[in-house]
Amino acid sequence: EVQLVESGGGLVQPGGSLRLSCAASGLTFTSYWMTWVRQAPGKGLEWVANIKYDGSEKNYVDSVKGRFTISRDNAKNSLYLQMSSLRAEDTAVYYCANLNNWSFENWGQGTLVTVSS
């Protein structure tokens, strides 16, 4: 059974930083592009970033470019999202997912990030 477990969310002040983690099991982690998707409270889903299976390619939605960094540690089957210069509009549940068949195949349960003073 595939499991993706996010952690690291919490309350942070505007301008602050936070690092999210996603621990993967039950899949061959090194075979998949991985992605972060977020959902603001009561709102829709938004793709945030993805990373190639070997970490050699990374892509971001325009609104987070220069502020967020996606990375992975294949030895630990883990995905990360380093978030800095956080804004109120970054408040959301952040999900990690693996990409397969050009779709987001498996999702974690999400971790809530709240940016507020």
Partner 1 sequence: QSALTQPPSASGSPGQSVTISCTGTSSDIGGYDYVSWYQQHPGKAPKVIIYDVSERPSGVPDRFSGSKSGNTASLTVSGLQAEDEADYYCVSFAGSKNWIFGGGTKLTVL
What whole-number distance in Å separates Cα of residue 92 and Cα of residue 75?
28
Beta carbon nearer to partner 1, 50 or 91 = 50
CA dist 97 to 11, 16, 75, 92, 109, Å?
Answer: 23, 25, 18, 16, 10
Shortest approach of partner 1 to residue 110 CB, angstroms?
A: 6
Beta carbon nearer to partner 1, 80 or 104 = 104
Shortest approach of partner 1 to residue 109 CB, angstroms?
A: 6
Q: Which residues of the chain form contacts with partner 1 (CB under 8 A)?
A: 35, 37, 44-47, 50, 57, 59, 61-62, 95, 101-105, 107-110
Shortest approach of partner 1 to residue 40 CB, angstroms?
A: 12
How many angstroms separate the most distant Cα atoms in the chain?
41
Q: What is the DSSP letter of 52?
A: -
